[in-house]
Structure 1
Amino acid sequence: MSAATGTPRTPDPLDLLDLDALLSPEERAVRDTVRRFCEEHTDPHIAEWFEAGELPDARGLAKRLGELGLLGMHLEGYGCAGMSAVDYGIACLELEACDSGVRSLVSVQGSLAMFAIWRFGSEEQKTTWLPRMAAGDAIGCFGLTEPDHGSDPGSMRTRARRDGTDWVLDGRKMWITNAPIADVAVVWAQTDEGIRGFVVPTDLPGFSAPEIKHKMSLRASLTGEIVLDGVRLPADAVLPDVHGLKGPLSCLSEARYGIIWGSLGAARSAFAAAVSYSREREQFGKPIGGFQLTQAKLADMAVELGKGHLLALHLGRMKDAGTLRPDQVSFGKLNNVREALEICRTSRTILGANGISLEYPVIRHMNNLESVLTYEGTVEMHTLVLGQTLTGLAAYR
């Protein structure tokens, strides 16, 4: 309804449930600001970056994102914006409506690298790194996944040993977003005291981060290995306030929350392309949107997009209230990424051969979501998290 007249609004194909009415003026302002940023700085170039498999001037982009307050935006203090979880989720949605690679840059910086330092770091670590990272003057990455250990991080082989008062790190991490340009890496390693996290400046001897090429997904994202060959760190490089897997897993939960929202952005972009195309493309003498099977596809996609948005908003309100549990984050990540990928695949069928062209965003989002589906926890792992919550039995141990 229109507040002024009481008359029904014209339906918005991208928001049949009028979910916009559930957002506060501040939340709508965040959405509009990030959307304008993408329209100006990234949307005109993203297909070219994806095709070339590069993110040109990633540091410049990070700096502009920092100026907008999007890096670590949901953290308090140290130059961070201190905004709400819903604000952060909305920003992730708009960034991923452009491309998953752009959202990943922000997520890894804020919800993994910065969050780890903010939540578990010493005051010196926080003051040294967080203001620079919030401003986009320093880039961070998060070293957990290894070549042979993804879903089972407790079996990681990266090792940190004491040598006098120093620590010495040896090992490898794999599929690390931002690693090739990072100034600091949060690295998790086995020690005699259990798993510990370390704040590792990337200019130290023995640290290297070769870029991973030949990706067919997240091509507009810088991904690398982390190679640690006798990297020597002072005693105060360790994150003091956490031991064991609690540290990295809590960081992953932060990142997964952003993905719950971000995946909807990719889905919305693909769905919008399908709706527009269905109105313009003619076959058998009329637009293909006039055929029942096409309308059935569009209706199903609209339903799943609306449900996913309601779920994200509900979980965001819970996170802001301090009541959100990790299994509920798994619920959201499992559902929204899976349904977003299906929306992209169905949109591709509506566009036909044009669906595989980078002249449209659909195949790019579809390829990106193939990575989003399995990073920060595979479908199998999130399914088993929910299974354990339902039965009290851990099936993956």
Structure 2
Amino acid sequence: MHDKQPAKRGRTPKVAPEVAPEVKAVPDGVTAAFEDFMGAFEAFKEVNDRRLAEIEEKLVSDVVTRDKVERINKAMDDQSRMIDEMLLKKMRPSLSRGGAGEIEAAEHKAAFDAYIRRGDESGLRELEAKAMSAGTPADGGYLVPPETDSEIGRRLSVVSPVRALATVRQVSGSVLKKPFSPAGMTAGWVSETAARPQTGTAQLAELSFPTMELYAMPAASQALLDDAAVDIEAWIAGEVDIAFAEQEGTAFVSGDGVNKPKGLLSYDQVADGVWEWGKIGYVATGAAGAFSAAGASDVLVDVVYALKAGHRQNASFLMSRKTQGQIRKFKDADGNYIWQPPAKAGDPASLMGFPVAEAEDMPAIAADATSIAFGDFRAGYLVVDRVGVRVLRDPYSAKPYVLFYTTKRVGGGVQNFEAIKLLKFSAN
């Protein structure tokens, strides 16, 4: 072996570079809340498995175990609701800062702000004259700026689940008429020299979707309007969007069609075996106000396969949070939970591989209630929006407050009756 050579004079020995410590990203509020939700789900599965084992062994579960399952189940619902609210805040769109229409948008915003704060209509009238448009209806009022209009529409799609699932059309008139063919053309086989008799012609049905007026009337003091630090447009959107969304959500589910959209549960319902166009088919659970004791989840499979394959591939479940909490306890024949949590924050939970949308307007489980809907809602339900949200400033009716009469015209109804099926909690 050779001895080590001494280091040469004048040369600095090499030093290993210092390795910077690994910096871990701090999870944001949504990520942290989602991790807590997933942890709660793991705890839920563990306790629910214990409950099922107790039932299998002793034919009854311990009351402590049952209470613990319900507490964790409720905690998961609360955590899911908190995540939804946090995501709703994050989805607030930022106003555009560029583009060809930046100058026009800025002028409209400034003119609208002057109208809201001081009742000064001159700027909006000048803009209407430039555009040669009639923005003021017979009863007065002005179109809100595009930023506010899109803000309200975007937040509605989050709060109102049916709107997010359905097809949305914008119209300039008061009614949307849509032709639909319940049955296509007929065809037949013939030999080379046989006569070709005339085949049946496709019949068209006309569906009509009138738009109804939805309104809100928030009030503000003049002191609030004089405060330049207050974003009036954001305030109007914040006051109006939740009120509009709650009314819409109820109407899209159970509205009777009188001065409001017709909800999907308001149409005639028949057993799926005798389904016909114009009605919505349902599958019965076999027990009044409950799932069947024998194979509780089997009826969910029946509902899934009651839908045609073309609609099934785009289908979703629609139910309330409480109904979803009950289904969360079900397992398939292999012992796997049929309800699965979302893959990441913002995604829907899944039931047997299909997304689950929560609609608190869906009825709770009760005798003869149709508490679960399953279908391709984009093909099955149509939401009609008349373009524009209007605001009329009223400083006289409620002094010393200024009222803002805000209106939007919305319609809706089923456009394809075979694309939606219901689960009815009844014996037959």
Relative to the length of structure 1, the TM-score reads 0.25
* The structure with more helix, counted as a fraction of residues: 1
The structure with the larger Rg is: 2
* The structure with more strand, counted as a fraction of residues: 2
Relative to the length of structure 2, the TM-score reads 0.24
